[in-house]
Chains A and B, each alone.
Chain A
Amino acid sequence: MSGVRAVRISIESACEKQVHEVGLDGTETYLPPLSMSQNLARLAQRIDFSQGSGSEEEEAAGTEGDAQEWPGAGSSADQDDEEGVVKFQPSLWPWDSVRNNLRSALTEMCVLYDVLSIVRDKKFMTLDPVSQDALPPKQNPQTLQLISKKKSLAGAAQILLKGAERLTKSVTENQENKLQRDFNSELLRLRQHWKLRKVGDKILGDLSYRSAGSLFPHHGTFEVIKNTDLDLDKKIPEDYCPLDVQIPSDLEGSAYIKVSIQKQAPDIGDLGTVNLFKRPLPKSKPGSPHWQTKLEAAQNVLLCKEIFAQLSREAVQIKSQVPHIVVKNQIISQPFPSLQLSISLCHSSNDKKSQKFATEKQCPEDHLYVLEHNLHLLIREFHKQTLSSIMMPHPASAPFGHKRMRLSGPQAFDKNEINSLQSSEGLLEKIIKQAKHIFLRSRAAATIDSLASRIEDPQIQAHWSNINDVYESSVKVLITSQGYEQICKSIQLQLNIGVEQIRVVHRDGRVITLSYQEQELQDFLLSQFVMDLKVAARLWFSFLVTNVKTFQKVMFYKITNGVIFVGHSKKFSGIKWKVEILFIKWSCLCLHLALVYYDFFQMFPKEVSRNFDLKCLQINYKHKEEITSKRVLFLKIIIRKCLFSTFKLFTL
């Protein structure tokens, strides 16, 4: 600090003098600032004696002070004069107001002291406890609150009740008006489901599938008419509707496509008989109005008509090996020889007359619902295809048609290329293929089932796959003998049933193709049965042989190739052993006989005269032939040996 140079600091007072007056020449006259005493007086006057540490006492003091001011002023008149002088002369001693306030406080305190001293004597004044009336004033605000709340709640409740009343009124009105519905509101409902347009003064609608991609030329327009035959005097019926739809006359009633497969050859006289058994109408949703059911039924009729028209067009145009017959409302084709597939459009109108003549010529089980459903799906797929981006032109000015067909002009496609673009299966071909497959599959199942019921040992098991194609199904067939299940695992077949043939995949890798003939599958399965038997017999035989082998090991006899040759035993030539061996030999002989018997006579009664031209079974049959011939040879050897040994036994 001593080494630091002193710094000059200037101090200036912040407050400037207040401007009292600004002269005409711009000079300012300042108010002289308050002197120290004046300042003090000012501050003293600002002291508020009513504010203090205890508010009530201060209040009381303040109010009493105020109240006492004048009496206090009266008691000391000369002081009053002084005070009065003081009031008008604020430049006097600053503590004046302080002194006045203190004096008034003193007066009040003296009065209070006097009163308390008088009260203490209890001669002239007594203290009485104050009644509890002071309490209610305290609770008043709470009750007030309650009451006010109650009132406001009542007001809100009133509003809500009014609203509820109004709602109930409107609901009841609606209920009443349900029966007396407005035409326009009903029209609105109709418009939510169907396309309507106004032509002149008529309202027409469209129930065709044209907007969904159909190319059927039927117009499919229905008319919406006002139902004015309402008698206001009578009671309005339950199902009254102010709106009615008029559908085209050829779409009335209900229709469905019947697809059935029959085994008999078509009788020319029977062709064209209209199968008119009326199927119960599909249940409409309970809440739907009657026009909805009507229109839906008409649309279904239209769709069935389109399906049938498409099928009949294809039946006539497409060339096939066996031509399809189209008669009236039936299309008859032959997927397999001696099998007839008939697709007919059954359209029954709602007239009461025709219902009388409805007779069920064919049983309903004939009808393949699956194919009918598939027909509907296929036609819808066709519709969607016409609207797909392959068909829709890009850019929008390009002509309609398949995308690649549009390019065939500019890219100069020749006939082969155009044909390859256009080749696709028609509806009829698809349905025929599906029908073929269904028929083949059901027949294969029937064959397997019949074999299973007919033959008890060995057993056949069929496991059908759940994941199938429209044109292909598969089933896994196991043939096992009782007791040999674990050993005879080799007979496992996988049948893939296609449209026209059945492909068999054997466990050992062989793949055999069977045609659609029922007998082929049956024969093939029977051959598999025999294989299984053979395996079982061989096993039994081998079991026997192993037994004998161990016996032989003990007894020093030779066994070769399952045929037991009685060796010349040197040590043991007892009759007992020989008899035992003989017994075994004879039992083997019987077993072989049994096998041959099974082979030849049981399973294949027509074996001898059978035509072995079936290519697919040639392998099995050849094999069988060889085996049976070998077996016969074996038999001969065994018989000879047995007889020889028996003779030997008895001669020895």
Chain B
Amino acid sequence: MGVTCVSQMPVAEGKSVQQTVELLTRKLEMLGAEKQGTFCVDCETYHTAASTLGSQGWSAMVRSQLTATSTSQVQVILLPQPSQVAGIIGQTGKLMYVMHNSEYPLSCFALFENGPCLIADTNFDVLMVKLKGFFQSAKASKIETRGTRYQYCDFLVKVGTVTMGPSARGISVEVEYGPCVVASDCWSLLLEFLQSFLGSHTPGAPAVFGNRHDAVYGPADTMVQYMELFNKIRKQQQVPVAGIR
């Protein structure tokens, strides 16, 4: 697990998504990267159901549900405190994202927008079914990115097509630098590498890096970046993708 940077590649003018992806992959292959299979990152959105009991009751019910039905092993970075829960109830319809990443095949990630990120094993999905009363999935919310995985020395590059339903919405580029786990140490190296094949579309430093400057980078941060990317793409939804012929 190394420092990862997720960015979006804008579709080239006059070309379709697929063509841009092909361009990118060709550039990578010319660079000398080897193809190592495919990857997939997906995300589902859930609303917290507003029509439920008061905060105390909610948390108590949730806790009892969790203890009664949880068979999954859960390692939490930050547990939602009752005060936070109350805050959530106050703002109706706070979104929770449940994400999977093929890079971590046995894990499941659950995160709130600016809140905690939970890493659990795949039984968490079953748990979400049990918590239907409290988390309702938003309509047509599933968004995912699929593509090929390239290995270039210490770098792992994943170029994927972001799709929502049947339509392709954009391109995601993820670059991971394996040996380093502290973001601030290797950002410049990453930047240089990104510039070598992204050219002018190189992104700036992700917000996640700024938050925890010297802290160890973890998979949760990657998922946060993906979540932000998906949200950005979803907002672009209104603008139709020009160039699909």
Q: With A399-B123, A414-B1 as given contacts, are A409 and B72 in contact (CB-CB < 8 Å)?
A: yes
Evaluate contact between B73 and A413: CB separation under 8 angstroms.
no
Taking a contact as CB atoms under 8 Å apart, the answer to whether A411 and B75 are in contact is yes
Across the interface, which residues of B come within 8 angstroms of A408, CB to CB? Answer: 106-107, 121
Residues facing A in B28-61 (CB within 8 A) are: none
Does residue A149 face the partner (Cβ distance < 8 Å to B)?
no
**Interface check A415, CB cutoff 8 A:** yes
Residue on B nearest A406 in the bound complex, by CB: B73
Contact string, A166-189, partner B, CB cutoff 8 A, digits 1/0? 000000000000000000000000
What chain A residues lie within 8 Å of B109 (beta carbons)? 412
Total A residues in contact with B, Cβ cutoff 8 Å? 15
Are A398 and B1 in contact, with the CB atoms below 8 A?
A: no
Within 1-26 of B, Cβ neighbours of A (below 8 Å) are at: 1
B195 at the interface (CB under 8 A from A): no
Q: How close is A285's CB to chain B, nearest CB, in angstroms? A: 47
Among A366-419, those with CB < 8 Å from B are 397-399, 405-415, 418
User: Is the pair B103, A415 in contact by a Cβ cutoff of 8 Å?
Assistant: yes
Assembly CA distance A546 to B154 (angstroms)? 70
B116 contacts the other chain (Cβ, under 8 Å)? no
User: CA A410 – CA B106 in complex, angstroms?
Assistant: 8
User: Could you say which residues of chain A place their CB within 8 Å of the CB of B121?
Assistant: 406, 408-410
- Render B184-225 as a binary contact track against A, CB cut-off 8 A, 1 for contact: 000000000000000000000000000000000011100000
How far is it, in angstroms, between the C-alpha of A411 and the C-alpha of B218 when the chains are bound?
10
Q: How far is the CA of A398 from the CA of B107 in the complex (A)?
A: 15
Smallest CB separation, B163 vs chain A (Å): 24
Instruction: Write the nearest CB–CB distance from A418 to chain B, whole angstroms.
Output: 7
Q: What are the interface flags for B102-113 relative to A under an 8 Å C-beta threshold, 1 for contact and 0 otherwise?
A: 011111110000
B96 adjacent to chain A (CB < 8 Å) = no
B74 at interface, CB cutoff 8 A: yes
Contact A412 B73 (CB under 8 A): no
Q: Does B122 contact A (CB under 8 A)?
A: yes
B121's nearest neighbour on chain A, judged by CB, is A409
In the complex, B181 has a CB within 8 A of chain A: no
- Measured between alpha carbons, how far is A17 from B107 in the docked complex, in Å? 109
Chain A contacts of B105 at CB under 8 A?
415, 418
Interface positions of B from 82 to 124, Cβ below 8 Å from A: 103-109, 119-123
Whether B73 and A398, one on each chain, are in contact in the complex, defined by CB atoms closer than 8 angstroms, is yes
Closest residue of chain A to B108 (Cβ to Cβ) is: A409
Q: CB-CB < 8 A to A405: which residues of B? A: 106
Which residues of chain A come closer than 8 Å to B231, judged between CB atoms? none
Task: Please determine whether B71 and A409 come into contact, CB atoms closer than 8 angstroms.
Answer: no
Provide the bound-state CA to CA distance between A413 and B106, in Å.
Answer: 8
Let me know if B1 and A410 touch, CB within 8 A. Answer: no
Known A418-B105, A418-B106; judge A410-B123 contact (CB<8 A).
no
Q: Does the CB pair B73–A399 fall under 8 Å?
A: yes
Cβ A410 vs Cβ B103 within 8 A:
no
Set of chain B residues within 8 Å of A397, measured between Cβ atoms: 71
Are the CB atoms of B120 and A410 closer together than 8 Å? yes
In the bound assembly, the distance between CA atoms of A415 and B178 in angstroms comes to 13
Taking the closest CB of chain B, its distance from the CB of A441, in whole angstroms, is: 42
Residue of A406, A409, A412 touching B1 (CB-CB under 8 A): A412
Residues of A within 8 A of B74 (CB): 410
Which one of A410, A413, A415 has the greatest number of beta carbons of chain B within 10 Å? A410
A409 engages B103 (CB within 8 Å) = no
**Interchain nearest-CB distance for A457 vs B (Å):** 62
**Which residues of chain A have a CB within 8 Å of any CB of chain B?**
397-399, 405-415, 418
Inter-chain pairs besides A407-B75, A411-B119, A414-B104, 17 sampled, C-beta below 8 Å: A397-B71, A399-B71, A405-B106, A406-B73, A409-B108, A409-B120, A409-B122, A409-B123, A410-B73, A410-B74, A410-B75, A410-B107, A412-B109, A413-B106, A415-B103, A418-B105, A418-B106
A–B Cβ pairs within 8 angstroms, 28 of them: A397-B71, A398-B71, A399-B73, A406-B121, A407-B75, A408-B106, A408-B107, A408-B121, A409-B72, A409-B73, A409-B106, A409-B108, A409-B121, A409-B122, A409-B123, A410-B73, A410-B75, A410-B107, A411-B119, A412-B1, A412-B104, A412-B220, A413-B107, A414-B1, A415-B103, A415-B105, A418-B105, A418-B106
